[in-house]
A = this chain, B = another copy of it.
């Protein structure tokens, strides 16, 4: 097991790296603090399509097209696509990418999917089985609301712990080593379910999984939070982020100034009325593939932990009284 360190962590020796990345987003995201960082933003969140689901597909295909262009490769240079989203049967991904003609592996990790696609893309490049892989995910506020909660027309009231699904997509092209933005380590998470049943408080449901994966990673790599320029979670939001800090404190791990959450970065929660922060596959994907990776490229950040979390439930499981299992996958990205 040349690539394993500790119990859960994969150490990349061939150092697959992110050769190109792009993020696209909707109107509300364009008005947020990261608005100027996205490659493309759309004032019309229907993107000119006839349904929210088709609009979400277009977010993904736009992100992929832009990322390929920035990586200066064509789809013919890509061996595999790892893609996923939140919609039933992952239709945003399959319809977005069907015309590319590239072998396709659909992933489902709820909002952890961006880390999952990046992890598998990195592993398959590390193993010298692929030259380049696409890792991409998306979400769309309007498509998610009507599938998971209420149609927009209903005008449902939101609880203070509720989060706002990001309309956006992020895509990274993972290829052979060339120095910057290298994938140094990957830690795949276990499903953790502490019995949270409140579907309006996903942060609380996901925080225990985040704590588990992060503490496994620190143990496996004999490192601590202060070794990293930034530790960023996907969409724990205000509530989940606070819980993560509390849970880690019990293990003697202190998350401090270098911790942030994509869901807390993407909106001005108070002014934009997004309550506990942004969420959705597109949240972590679009923040990573805009602001974060751009700051790494400029060497403002050189060693980061990106960990996306997912709530592995469905409206049906919640209606049947089930609790919400959480998961978190971790990627350590370094400038070498």
Binding site for B on A (CB under 8 A): 1-4, 8, 10, 50-51, 53-54, 80, 84, 86-91, 94-95, 97-98, 100-110, 116, 119-120, 123-124, 126-131, 188-193, 312-317, 320, 322, 325, 327
A133 to chain B, nearest CB (A): 11
18 residue pairs from A and B, CB less than 8 Å apart: A3-B128, A8-B103, A50-B320, A53-B317, A84-B108, A91-B313, A91-B314, A94-B312, A97-B191, A98-B312, A100-B191, A103-B189, A104-B189, A105-B116, A120-B120, A123-B127, A123-B129, A127-B129
Contact A103 B188 (CB under 8 A): yes
Instruction: Known contacts A103-B188, A105-B188, A193-B98; decide if A1 and B131 are in contact (CB<8 Å).
Output: yes
Smallest CB-CB separation from A148: which chain B residue?
B89
A322 CB contacts on chain B under 8 angstroms: 95
Contact A2 B123 (CB under 8 A): no
A123 CB contacts on chain B under 8 angstroms: 123-124, 127, 129
Contact A106 B107 (CB under 8 A): yes
A216 to chain B, nearest CB (A): 9
Contact B84 A317 (CB under 8 A): no
With A and B bound together, what is the CA distance between A185 and B45 in angstroms?
Answer: 43
